[in-house]
Amino acid sequence: MTDEGGPDVPTVEQVNGTAVPVRGNEIDTDQIIPARFLKAVSFEGLGQFAFFDQRFDGETPLEHPFNDERFAGASVLVVNANFGCGSSREHAPQALKRWGIDAIVGESFAEIFAGNCLGLGVPTVTLSHEDVTALQEWVEEHPDDEVRVDIVTETVSVGDTAFEANVDDAQREALVEGLWDTTTLMRANQETVRETAESLPYVNLDARER
């Protein structure tokens, strides 16, 4: 659920939707989006290549949650430890976002990956190992039921169960106050940006505008 926050930047207070569990520690960005798909001029269409080498052997589909019809349309991804490690490529969260993922719940995340997710308005919420395991098992048993990720209360809820979660303070503030899309904020405040730049002795705007 989103509300309007800053200039054209939606706040992200809660994400509700069905979930998909992807098990395994140290799932790196090369597994999330293989390097050969990084040649695209834009991020459009990257969603279809998410976890591609885990999902296909050549043209043959493999058993993978992203190929499982039970989890079709899921918007919450439930993962394990150090998800998004490896290369800092921003294509990884872009691929997940364009697949349809609006929030990721896991044991821990690589710092750069989490930062790239924040730039897309995708919260990365952590739970204990025991709670992640329980949540993954619940999702597998109830694939059609909703998972509620609440950024404000820092909880992840399913049915009558609420897991105590953790959201990085800076991430929580950016999402809840609608400050996560810095590019849009800068475009909406161009005069303030220019005034700030003009006050800096090492920025020569006249030279840049020639």
Q: What is the pLDDT of residues 28-68, one digit of tens each?
A: 999 999 998 887 666 888 999 999 999 999 999 999 999 99
pLDDT on residue 2: 44
Q: What is the mean pLDDT of residues 167-190?
A: 77
Under 8 Å between Cβ of 46 and 37: yes
pLDDT at 121: 95
Name, in order, each residue with C-beta under 8 angstroms of 28's C-beta and a sequence gap of 6 or more: 84, 85, 86, 87
Q: Please report, for the chain, how many H helices and E strands are present, in that order.
A: 9, 12
Contact 158, 135 (CB under 8 A): yes
**pLDDT averaged over every residue in the chain:** 87
Q: What is the pLDDT of residue 190?
A: 52
Confidence of residue 204 (pLDDT cuts 50, 70, 90): low
All CATH 3.20.19.10 domain ranges of the chain, comma separated, are 2-179
Rounded to whole angstroms, how far apart are CA atoms 169 and 117? 15
Amino acid 136: pLDDT: 98
Q: Which residue has the higher pLDDT, 179 or 109?
A: 109
Cα(169)–Cα(177) distance, rounded to whole angstroms?
12
- Report the CATH architecture of 2-179: Alpha-Beta Barrel (3.20)
**Is the confidence at residue 1, as pLDDT, over 90?**
no
CA distance 133 to 27: 16
pLDDT at 186: 46
Structure pTM?
0.84
Contact indicator for 196, 24 with CB cutoff of 8 Å: no
What DSSP designation does 154 have?
A: T
